[in-house]
Chain A
């Protein structure tokens, strides 16, 4: 037994020592830079929300950590922001949504109008979709299809008029999976967030 342990240590001591040192190094880098990375993310979120809900002077955190079910029995938590004009009027709602893309997780910022009946649009907070194909979800020609589209179940189609604003979204050529991923994320979040805001009385009659 001792012989085996000795052999194991002889063979792997360098690996164990290096793993420990590299782990410490990564932990130090993470601790030093993570606050700045988080701040960059918040700044980007503010910028994207302002772009989607023009005229909003501030974004109030209306609901924290709202739980949303994801496919494969997973859940995610999302903060819901209320966009307010200078005179305190609600202009709409914005929140971060996530789902699986073609290459990796896609994180979107979704904005809807005050009554939650119309999409103000979406923007991409983070994605690693294939450059030249899937990453076209960031481009205006695809995103504009969602601007003012009804906040209801959206359908993806491979052909159609991408200028027409309705619940039918025309897929990006060569990136059907990424296009479908965006539509799925929107469908999943819009339905659940709307339902929970209605229950909380933040929209609809209780607004």
Chain B
């Protein structure tokens, strides 16, 4: 009985980030990278993986030190922790994926101010056990990555006719250049949010 409750709790924490509390489609967090790096799937995936790394590491550290945290210093501690792991992720990309690092430009360092990460540190990791914090980070990170990849897929297909540089639309398709631009990001995100709301409403009725 106790085991079932634990599994339910852990499973629920992990699954929440994928849909019920998806940071992009349900909580509307992290809009800056969502709009900025989703012109193609590769940068979106790289950004998603970077966020998973930072979220996981910061949630682990915050959860481990939660009992020693002074309430008035907690935001400072969160920022210190997050900025350390973001800098490591940034250095790693510069060393091993320099072209991708150049493509993502300032958006990797900007993960420091990504509200998903500070929100999870405040709402989850600083109040829960290590296991719950890890599952929350992985669930939220995967949810964010999936949302970015879905948005990027729509934009890349419509703006180039390809996905991951593999052509999937016929040669007769005229690429919609606007989908690569900010206007394409806003339009796609708006339509996908509408779709997510419709699906969510249908699920409730």
Contact = CB atoms under 8 A, between A and B. Distances in A.
A165 interface: no
Interface residues of A, number: 25
B70 interface: yes
A11 B73 contact: yes
B194 interface: no
Q: Give the interface SS of chain A, mostly helix, strand, loop or mixed.
A: helix
Nearest to B61: A18
B80 interface: yes
A128 B36 CA distance: 13
Interface string A18-49: 11001001100110011011001000100000
B196 to A, nearest CB: 25
A29 B92 CA distance: 8
Contacts of A126: 102
A40 B70 contact: no
A71 interface: no
B96 interface: yes
Contacts of A26: 84, 87-88
B106 A37 contact: no
Nearest to B109: A128
Contacts of A25: 84, 88
Contacts of A37: 91, 94-95, 98
B29 interface: no
A22 B98 CA distance: 24
A126 B80 CA distance: 26
Contacts of B195: none
A36 B80 contact: no
Contacts of B81: 18, 22
Given A14-B65, A36-B96, A103-B106, A29 B91 contact: yes
Interface string B125-142: 000000000000000000
Given A15-B73, A132-B181, A33 B80 contact: no
Task: Say which size band chain B's interface belongs to.
Answer: 20 to 34
Contact of B73 (A12, A131, A132): A12
B109 to A, nearest CB: 9
Nearest to B73: A15
Interface in B47-68: 65, 68
B118 to A, nearest CB: 16
Contacts of A162: none
B104 to A, nearest CB: 10
Contacts of B102: 126
Interface in B83-137: 84, 87-88, 91-92, 94-96, 98, 102, 105-106
A128 B106 contact: yes
Contacts of A67: none
B146 interface: no
Interface in A123-150: 126-128, 131-132, 135
B73 A33 contact: no
Contacts of B98: 37, 40, 44
A131 B36 contact: yes
A40 B101 CA distance: 11
B77 interface: yes
Contact of B105 (A18, A30, A128): A128
A10 to B, nearest CB: 9
A14 B76 CA distance: 11
Contacts of A135: 105
Contact of A14 (B73, B92, B96): B73
A104 interface: yes
Contacts of B91: 29-30, 33-34, 37
B77 A15 contact: yes
B181 to A, nearest CB: 6
Given A18-B81, A29-B92, A40-B98, 5 more contacts: A19-B80, A22-B80, A29-B88, A103-B106, A132-B181
